[in-house]
Amino acid sequence: MKRRGHRPSQAPASRPRFYGRHAVLAALANPERTVRKIWGTREALSALDLPPVIPITYADAADLGRLVPSDAPHQGLVAEVDPLEEIWLGDLLEQGAEDKRPLLVLDQVTDPHNVGAILRSAAAFDALGIVTQDRHAPPETGTLARSAAGTLEVVPWVRVVNLSRALDEIAEAGFWRVGLTGHAKATLGEVMGEGRVALVLGAEGEGMRQNTEAHCDQLARLPISPKVESLNVSNAAAVALYAVNTRG
């Protein structure tokens, strides 16, 4: 694989534990993912066709509950996995060079539930991938994997050291960078055009940082009712991706 563009300075140190059927089965189905060990109830494991190289431990539901966060819905399955190999931004941009799939850029969105939900929307609307800053985004965890419902395994996720430089590289690849913010005058439909679009979304509550806004070609808002002040970032991502995919 080519190694072009921005990437993180260091890899995660620990192995995450995924739980729940969607997250575990998707990890097993991903050839790029190494599953190191699986714990499960006899009922849950009997339904799986597991490769013999993966160590298996039978456990009851209470024992599994002690392997995951409190009250986490493990559905009888827990897997210890290696984090996915990091992706270079240049490689991702090259993969989408012949199409108009949208790209999502997240500016310090740290809630794993939100990032997981954004991954689901990215998969649903066939986004090219998501780009985050490595120090201000959640690591791969069971919580994130469950929120993503298996899509952590299929949506490319690039972590970069410097988001502003990454946005410059995204522009050089021919993307029109649209920052979504409630204070913009124009709507997304008015500014996104017909070419390749990178949707830039800010953190929960604080929104995009000023320097991130400065690296967007255009700021836009979603035309929501005055009954609501703003949308959750994962909801905004889903609406924006739908708008891009259905533009005339």
Specify the residue for token string 């799939």.
101
What DSSP string describes 83-151? PPPP--HHHHHHHTTTS---EEEEES---HHHHHHHHHHHHHTT-SEEEEEGGGSPPS-HHHHHHHTTG
CA pair distance 242, 125, nearest whole angstrom: 7
CA distances from 60 to 17, 20, 24, 247 (A): 17, 14, 17, 50
pLDDT of residue 13: 55
pLDDT of residue 218: 97
CA distances from 197 to 101, 129, 151, 193 (A): 8, 12, 21, 8
Name residues of the chain where pLDDT drops below 50. 1-2, 9-11
Closest CA to 17 of 85, 86, 65: 65
pTM value? Answer: 0.91
pLDDT of residue 207: 86
pLDDT of residue 125: 97
Q: Biggest alpha carbon distance in the chain?
A: 58
pLDDT of residue 1: 41
